[in-house]
Amino acid sequence: MRDTIIQIVEQHPKHYSAMIKRNPKLLSWVKENTCVNSTILGEEVYSAVNNVSNQCEFGNKKKFLSFKDGYGYCGHSSVCKCNKEQSAKLVSQAKLNYSKDKRSSIDSKRASTMLQKYGSKYNLQRDSVKQKISELPTD
């Protein structure tokens, strides 16, 4: 059944859900094998074929995008922990690929901006930051 559904989706990407809905055997298979409780047949088909749920690892409901794209995140990175973690991982990975010249350029620009805005190259050289650090409780 799974292969039949995949073939239908590949041949009729815009109309696969209507075709599955008209075939009682395929529709029954989808309803029995889906991992989601949804009113959107396309999401149920995706879940059944790929054996995936719409729950993120933190228990939130992910947004269904399409059969081709699957699920997105459960929200914006400011509220969705899984999105925030994935975005942070991708940014870190991208930064690892920076060349030595690129990192040097970024550091010099950061130092220049700090000098313009605050009069020092680094945060720890600022009096206001030193004051805040000195006010922190010590163990």
% of residues, the chain, pLDDT over 70: 99
Residue 124 counted as domain residue: yes
- What is the residue range of 112's domain? 99-134
pLDDT at 112 over 90: yes
Residue 113 counted as domain residue: yes
End-of-domain residue from the set 53, 68, 88: 53
Task: Identify the pLDDT of residue 37.
Answer: 86
Task: Identify the pLDDT of residue 61.
Answer: 86
pLDDT at 79 over 80: no
Mean of pLDDT values over 46-71: 87
Q: Could you give phi then psi for residue 71, rounded to 5 degrees? A: -100, 145
Residue 79 counted as domain residue: no
Task: Give CA–CA dist 57/86, Å, rounded.
Answer: 12
Task: Identify the pLDDT of residue 80.
Answer: 81
- pLDDT band, very low/low/confident/very high, at 25 (cuts 50, 70, 90): very high
Are 35 and 52 in contact by the 8 Å Cβ rule? The answer is: yes
Residue 129 counted as domain residue: yes
Task: Identify the pLDDT of residue 58.
Answer: 81
- pLDDT band, very low/low/confident/very high, at 60 (cuts 50, 70, 90): confident
Residue 26 counted as domain residue: yes
DSSP 126: S
Mean of pLDDT values over 58-81: 84
- Looking at the structure of the chain, the number of domains it has is 2
Distance of CA 33 to the CA centre of its chain: 25
Residue 83 counted as domain residue: no
Residue 35 counted as domain residue: yes
pLDDT at 16 over 80: yes
Residue 15 counted as domain residue: yes
Place of tokens 């749920």: 53
End-of-domain residue from the set 53, 71, 90: 53
